[in-house]
Amino acid sequence: MLNVSLLSVLQAKKRIEHEVLKTPLLASPILSEHVGADVWLKLENLQKTGSFKLRGATNKIASLTEEELARGVITASAGNHAQGVAYAAKRKGVSALIVVPKTAPETKRAGIQRYGAELVVFGDNYDEAEVHAYKLAEETGRTFVHAFEDNEIISGQGTVALEALLEEPDFDAIVVPAGGGGLICGIATTAKALNPAIEVIGIQTHASPPWYYSFKEGKLADVEYSDSLADGLHGGISQGNLDLALKIVDDFILVEEEQVAHAMYWLAKEHHYMVEGSGAVGIAALLHGHLPHLKGKKVLTIVSGSNVDAAKLGKIIGSYS
């Protein structure tokens, strides 16, 4: 059973504050006007390694014993968690082995290798990569660092909300990309501890909707997956994260692929940011009217990552020109 609290998030903040960036928190007047709400962006796309995932990975590796570190670490990831683990391991002088699925973008694969980790490509999706990584962990004795079902990972991701709420304490709602669940569980734990009335809403795509259906049914649901621009949100979820989310998350919303593409274009056009599909789903939900009940409220959305292949983003931008 997961055990995450405001205290563990505060402890994570102390552990990682000299290793990660305090990312900008900016109001978006143009999005606010469109939505009819006071909308702010937490720009984790500007984090080292291009994603919030560095927070959880750094906190986890900082919490390991010397014996665990000496064995080296291993993880499975669609890309951003892998880069976070690779970077944090390099900073700690620890060997890292990373398993990514075949769908992992080249920009994320390059980042993993740039940070000195050994890269293994296996499987058609995250779940297959994870099974292989567990097998390799048994064979090599490496310490497995889970991407989302882990107290230290979730606590590290919770520092995103802690930073934002220390700067602007009066948000009515937080809109969060939902993949494995580490980010939304960390944000919801932190936000609800500071303000029980705040609303926390997770966003997924129709191409990868396990949170949406599992949350509605109150149990892990079987869903179909298809290719998605939001590759970082692609894959299954765990019972531990679901149990936690059912207590602290208010709702999950699905957006369409073309809406994600439009949000990526919009962020490049209006804010001049390269943002991956996973990082743009909250913007997609707001731009395309999926959250009408937030009109008149103060809303935070997490722009969670920037690791998109330039050619892919260029093609998307070109399609709207």
Give the separation between CA 249 and CA 188, rounded to whole angstroms: 6
Residue 120 has pLDDT above 90, yes or no: yes
For residues 291 and 241, the answer to whether their CB atoms sit within 8 Å is no
The CATH class that applies to domain 53-144 reads alpha beta
Question: 171: number of CA atoms within 13 Å, CB side?
Answer: 32
User: Which pLDDT value is given to residue 1?
Assistant: 85
Decide if 214 is catalytic.
no
Domains 6-52+150-319 and 53-144 share a fold: yes
Q: How far is it between the farthest Cα atoms of the chain?
A: 55
Q: How far apart are CA 20 and CA 164, in angstroms?
A: 15
Is pLDDT above 80 for 78?
no
Domain layout of the chain by residue ranges: 6-52+150-319, 53-144
What percent of the chain lies above the pLDDT cut of 70? 100
Class of domain 6-52+150-319: alpha beta
321 has a pLDDT exceeding 90: no
- Cβ contact 255:281 at 8 Å: yes
Query: Of the listed 214, 228, 238, 304, which one is catalytic?
Result: 304
**The one catalytic residue among 53, 60, 108, 192:** 53
pLDDT at 320: 93
Instruction: Enumerate residues 6+ apart whose C-beta is below 8 A from 57.
Output: 81, 84, 85, 87, 88, 145, 153, 156
Band (pLDDT 50/70/90 cuts) for residue 11 is very high
Q: Enter the pTM of the model.
A: 0.95
pLDDT for 111: 85
Query: Would you state the pLDDT for residue 107?
Result: 82
pLDDT of residue 275: 98
Are 176 and 285 a contacting pair, CB within 8 Å?
Answer: no
304 is catalytic: yes
Phi, psi of 174 (to 5 degrees): -125, 130
Q: Can you tell me the distance from the alpha carbon of 242 to that of 291, in angstroms, rounded to the nearest whole number?
A: 22
Average pLDDT on 225-235 reads 90
Residue range 126-153: mean pLDDT, rounded:
94
pLDDT at residue number 123: 93
The pair of structure tokens assigned to 284 is: 């997609």
256-298 pLDDT, tens digit each: 999 999 999 999 999 999 999 999 999 999 999 999 999 999 9
Q: What is the DSSP letter of 195?
A: -
Question: What is the per-residue burial (b if ≥16 Cβ within 10 Å, else e) of 231-251?
Answer: bbbbbbbbebbbebbeebbee
| pLDDT tens digits for range 30-50 | 999 999 999 999 999 999 999
List the structure tokens of 231.
């590759």
Cα 131 from chain centre:
21
pLDDT band (50, 70, 90) for residue 108 = confident
Residues 6+ apart with CB under 8 A from 318: none
